[in-house]
Structure 1
Amino acid sequence: MSSSPLKAAAWMMGALTSFLAMAISGRELSSDLTTFQILFWRSLSGLLVLSLLLSVIGWQRIATRRLTFHGVRNVIHFGGQYGWFLGLSLLPLADVIAIEFTTPVWSALLAMLLLGEQLTRARMLAIGLGFLGILVILRPGVEVLSAPALIVLGAAICYAATYINTKILAKTESVIAILFYMCLIQLPIGAVPTLLNWVTPSSSMLFWILVVGCSGLSAHYCLTRALSLADATIVVPMDFMRLPLISLVGFWFYQEGIDLWLLFGAGLIAFGTLISLRAERHRNRQLEGLKEEGRP
């Protein structure tokens, strides 16, 4: 498929809007619901939306022979989501997003350990800057490491493991199949603690439940479409816009301060990620050139 940066940018705007909507709805729901309850309603609403869509486009889209792999992926992903949504109720919005940006660092390490991917100089630099960014954001020794920050850091590691599993699944599974089994498998995980501590949603909560369910699906879909239309070197920098945008949302609507150290640390992580992406792009072009020349 040919590169279409403008179309990719449009899809990324949809992804950014969805991620912001998911963060805001998670914060709004946390005042009345536990994290398990939020995840239960998120899975249920997402499953209903996907079921309606599949009724139109055909249920054959979710045929799979890798149900066990889906199960492993979604147990890990549920842990990541639990930490992320719990963090939204305990930390400023910008802190959660900044710590989440460490996910590419953990992804690179896990890809090396689990998939045997080569640890190039660019990747080593990205990992080094990533860890430096983590230290700047958390500032151990200057401030006491908070439990909520460590929880969100754990969520980022779970997300990294999820991305590795998704990379493997995507070779045989469609995006809609991955999303469907995400909702289907995670629904009963969140259902047990939700039923033990049942809270009937109010009319105002129903709106945010619908938002959190739909925004989770649309964020993944828009991001996937953007990556299919342009290189990651174009798409990923747009994703880093989430931090300044969520900082403004936190400032305007929740009276949260803007931490310059946090922005600086996130900038280090973003810079390292961009260096790694550009190096990968250059390396892939060199490999393509060698193939065209008929060289191994």
Structure 2
Amino acid sequence: MGKAIGFLLFGVAGGLGLDLCAKALLVNYSLSQFIFLRSTFGLLILLSVARWYGGYGNLRTRNWHWHLLRTLLSCGAMFGFFYGLSRMPLVNALTIAFTAPLMVTAMSVPFLGEQVGWRRWLAVIVGFAGVLLVLRPGSGLVTPASLAVLFAATCYAGLAITARRMAAEESSFALSVYVMSGPLLMSGLLLQENYATPDASGWLLFVLAGACSACAWIGIVGGYRRAPPVVLAPFEYTALIGAAIAGYWIWNEVPDNWVIAGGAVIIGSGLYVVHREVGGGAPVRYLRALTASASATVMRRVRRSESPGDQAPGPDV
């Protein structure tokens, strides 16, 4: 269990690094160029460490239909999320994206045959209510960007479920490599005249985005190969804390009270799922220890930003 959680948290850190690079790059570069170069560098990095995962022979597979499904899901997840991220505050986009772990918990029943009791179902429903707090239908926040992120979350949940389903027959290396191939090909077809030659800092961020992408897939796939989704999914909420801190420090984005409340409901629902699964044991205490100091930092910064003379601008959705 501990090793699976460690893998997942490594993947979450890589994913957050990728999101930070993406938000910076998408200001000056097109979505198709970002995904193309990010996928290219990520794939090259994965292929360069093939020997760590048994060599290129581990790419042999008989499950082409499943890999094709996963590449399509990866395209939906990547294009949808980064489109939304380029038009929303970081923490808002990630809060909506975290419907994915709730979807994983729900989808693990029909697709994996795992048992989820009524209390965990109730936690999933409450979590989705938290998403409604963030979006507040009728407030103008239900935009193409937010719907794109919600679609991406659905695709991401499908990736997590299929990774678990294929774990007995496929290596982590094959699952990671093939899932990057689809977005690479699709973005290449869309690139055409949307390409702008990056400057030195741009190249650095593109390479870093590729490295973070490789780390994210290795960590997430490695985690879901080792433990059921109902245990691991809530640990992905640690990225929400990191996003709130990074959004404030880098872009001066301060989540409003509704986003904070909705995020708290989503995280609370996820923690309850873990509590029901493992009986409130070590994993829950570990997650609480990991997020407590970061949560306190966010709240201190928010209170400071709301003090007279230091009012931060509201989110620009």
Pairwise same-fold verdict (TM > 0.5): yes
Once the two structures are superposed, residues 114-152 of structure 1 have per-residue CA deviations (whole angstroms, 9 ceiling, x without a partner) of 455555202321221122111111111344522211111
- Rounded Cα–Cα distance in structure 2 between residues aligned with 1:229 and 1:114: 17
Q: Is 1:29 aligned to residue 19 of structure 2?
A: no
- Aligned residue in 2 for 1:64: 61
- Rounded Cα–Cα distance in structure 1 between residues aligned with 2:248 and 2:222: 31
One-letter amino acid matched to 1:17? A
The offset of 1:173, in angstroms, is 0.6
Q: In structure 2, list runs of 5 or more residues that go unmatched.
A: 280-317
- Aligned residue in 2 for 1:293: none
Q: Is 1:271 aligned to residue 288 of structure 2?
A: no
- Rounded Cα–Cα distance in structure 2 between residues aligned with 1:106 and 1:190: 27
**2:101–2:236 Cα contact (<8 Å) kept:** no
- Rounded Cα–Cα distance in structure 2 between residues aligned with 1:18 and 1:240: 14
Once the two structures are superposed, residues 24-61 of structure 1 have per-residue CA deviations (whole angstroms, 9 ceiling, x without a partner) of 11011102222122111121111211222226752112
Q: Is 1:47 aligned to residue 43 of structure 2?
A: yes
The number of residues matched between the two structures is 278
Once the two structures are superposed, residues 80-119 of structure 1 have per-residue CA deviations (whole angstroms, 9 ceiling, x without a partner) of 1111111111000000111111112222333344455555
Change (3 A) 1:165 1:230: closer
- Rounded Cα–Cα distance in structure 2 between residues aligned with 1:143 and 1:151: 15
Change (3 A) 1:170 1:191: same
More deviation in 41-50 or 189-198? 189-198
- Rounded Cα–Cα distance in structure 2 between residues aligned with 1:146 and 1:89: 13
- Aligned residue in 2 for 1:181: 178
- Rounded Cα–Cα distance in structure 2 between residues aligned with 1:117 and 1:235: 14
SS at structure 1 position matched to 2:262: helix
**1:233–1:278 Cα contact (<8 Å) kept:** no
- Rounded Cα–Cα distance in structure 1 between residues aligned with 2:116 and 2:9: 32
- Rounded Cα–Cα distance in structure 2 between residues aligned with 1:216 and 1:121: 35
- Aligned residue in 1 for 2:99: 102
SS at structure 2 position matched to 1:153: helix
The 5 A counterparts of 1:1-296 are 3-4=1-2, 8-9=5-6, 14-54=10-50, 57-115=54-112, 117-118=114-115, 120-225=117-222, 238-281=235-278
The offset of 1:14, in angstroms, is 3.5
**1:137–1:266 Cα contact (<8 Å) kept:** yes
The offset of 1:197, in angstroms, is 2.8
- Rounded Cα–Cα distance in structure 1 between residues aligned with 2:5 and 2:124: 27
One-letter amino acid matched to 2:38? R
- Comparing both chains, which one has the higher relative contact order based on Cα–Cα distances under 8 Å and sequence gaps of 6 or more? 1
**1:30–1:89 Cα contact (<8 Å) kept:** yes
Q: In structure 1, list runs of 5 or more residues that go unmatched.
A: 283-296
Change (3 A) 1:28 1:240: same
One-letter amino acid matched to 2:148? I
- Rounded Cα–Cα distance in structure 2 between residues aligned with 1:228 and 1:188: 26
More deviation in 266-275 or 126-135? 266-275
- Rounded Cα–Cα distance in structure 1 between residues aligned with 2:163 and 2:226: 19
Change (3 A) 1:172 1:106: same
Change (3 A) 1:40 1:234: same
SS at structure 1 position matched to 2:216: helix
- Rounded Cα–Cα distance in structure 2 between residues aligned with 1:231 and 1:46: 26
Once the two structures are superposed, residues 133-187 of structure 1 have per-residue CA deviations (whole angstroms, 9 ceiling, x without a partner) of 1111111134452221111111111111222222212221111111111123332
Identity of aligned residues (%): 27
**1:87–1:148 Cα contact (<8 Å) kept:** yes
Change (3 A) 1:13 1:130: closer
